[in-house]
Structure 1
Amino acid sequence: MVKKSIFLHLKKRLKLFCIINVFFMIPFSSFGANSISWNSEEDLFSVQYENATVKDILDYIEKHSKYIFIYSENVKKNLNNKVSISVSNKKIDAVLNELFSKTGLNYKMSGRQITISVPEQAPAIKQVRGFKIVGNVTDEKGEPLIGVSIFMKKDSTVNAITDMNGAYSIAVPDKYAELSFRYIGFVPKDEKVNNRRVLNVIMVEDVGQLDEVVVVAYGAQKKESVVGSITTVEPAKLNVSTSRSLSNNLAGTVTGVIGVQRSGEPGYDNSSFWIRGISTFQDVGKDPLVLVDGIERSLNNIDVEEIESFSVLKDAAASAVYGVRGANGVILINTKRGHVGKPRVVVKSEFAFTQPIKLPSYIGAAD
């Protein structure tokens, strides 16, 4: 009887011990499976999580570390995805790379702040099945044009470009579509397919777009329009004097231009001139830069009758276009071009004589 009582007593104690053991093992096993630790000195993370949401993991990291997560409303739905992650002694970027590799999210770090975003999807290129067209795009000389933009007028998502040989291939919905061809420096051209499988196009140069341009920070402009102060002189105003030297005629015609005639000897009476003074300190290169049809020439070797346009760039901003040579100003001259028509001869005759205004009084030997 005593043995049976002892046995029942031990049985009750064993049962109680098992219940207590199970009670303590459940939470510890749970914490052992899902845990995050952060070494603040070395900034290392150890993450052990199974079947947990991304948001729960980020909230725990944010609460127990120095990092802050920022995301928009469209990211929240992706944070509810459940993941499993196991990393040990890793930097925050390695932890996030492992975490987001299973969600498709992106992140960007800026100090303590981490911005989470959804990757932008590139616009899908519309695939059109129907009428396929091939061809070549050339200029007037038969040279292939590389990189010509080709698209359907009613739907620009249907597009193509020419390759190294000027060839292209494009599929349009039907045989009545209209294609548009665009290329820098050439006149845009539109072509109707009209049931043609092969469509070769010849593009014509746009002369108005082929003027000399210069690229600036806010676009492309003509060189003249880049500088701040420009004066345009009509060629007729440069021909009011009987002097054969253009530098002598320029003096007094343009504001800011100073001309000095150092000699009156015929053939050697050219004037020295400056635009708003001298901006360089070297002995050479103090004169303004003179460009005739884009080529540097002397101003005195040009006939006034040959000039079609005459522009003076005054301020030092011209050096931004023409370099240090433009620091003393720039004179741009365009000469006349030939025209189609009947020959025309213009004869102009002028004469002049010079005489001293006052003769010096000479001292003789007796004086």
Structure 2
Amino acid sequence: MGLFGSLERMYFGEFNKRILTKNVLFICIYLIITTTTSLVCGATDFDRALSYQRANESCQDVSWAINNCCTVHDVCYVLDKTQEECDIPFCQCLEEQAKFAKNSDCEQVAQEFCVIVQFFGGFAHAQAKEKVFNQTINSTLTLTTTQLPPPTTTTILSSSTTATAIASSSEIPPRKLDVTIEECFSSELKYCVAEFDTCQHKDKIELLKCEERMCQCTRAALRNKAKPECRYPIEMACIIPDLAFPSLPISESKEEPEYFLSTKIEILGFSVTILTTLIFLLITMLLISFGIWILYRCIKKRQSMPMSPSRTPLCAASSAESGLACGSNDTLSSDDGVKLARYP
């Protein structure tokens, strides 16, 4: 699908395509004229600069079309559509335009833009009116004032939008934020975006792994006194990581089954698996058994050793009478022999 079809779907959806084609044509023509010289991609200043750099690196030949996707995405927010109604068509628009790029890395850049929208789209939704009114929406409304449909058609559009929002409310409850991104996050947030940008290029890991890192980093970057609503867009982006990727295979987001032996338990403050604990206990029991066996052998060997002749009962008795020890080398002197001869 071309750029016009992507923008048209983002504005009004398939249901009202035939009714509002003429109005959309005027809007798209004006957007094409007014957005060729300024980059509008990015929810905040720090990620807008990053978006400009990444678009020039990998999507230079289609940067004009991608920039228009971003512009219409902002206008979609201004029209008070829900994030889901704007973000999903926006990602589809990026995906379709990235396919025409000569650099194959452009499709990956488009996916990165989608993830950034997941995290910061809520804040951009709150700030979009002021930004787009200053750039394009005033003149756009002037161009299309005479082309507005009759009131009945407007009623149909409102009913369709409301019905779509109600149908999707079970997945993403619509909520408008009354806080700015600066009120919610510290300056560390820019490092989260930069780290996410280099994650897949540097580490060569799956995009979902990079999103998990992004979740951890953005939570850590929340200010200590941040309002509760600051956590809402981050938690929604982390709960539904594949929302903005219609073409992402579902199998990639499935969790692997956790086996019993791989379950982690806490022992003395250390987190170890059951398998590791069993192996440690088995080795410990083997070492204890080996030590007991060595001790038993030593005791038995000492008990089986023969006694010295001087320690026998017969030697002990004769030693007491003669004063000589059995087996000794002592000999009788001549005087002792004479005495023994006289006193038989």
Report the TM-score when normalising by structure 1. 0.15
Report the TM-score when normalising by structure 2. 0.16
Higher strand share: 1
Higher helix share: 2
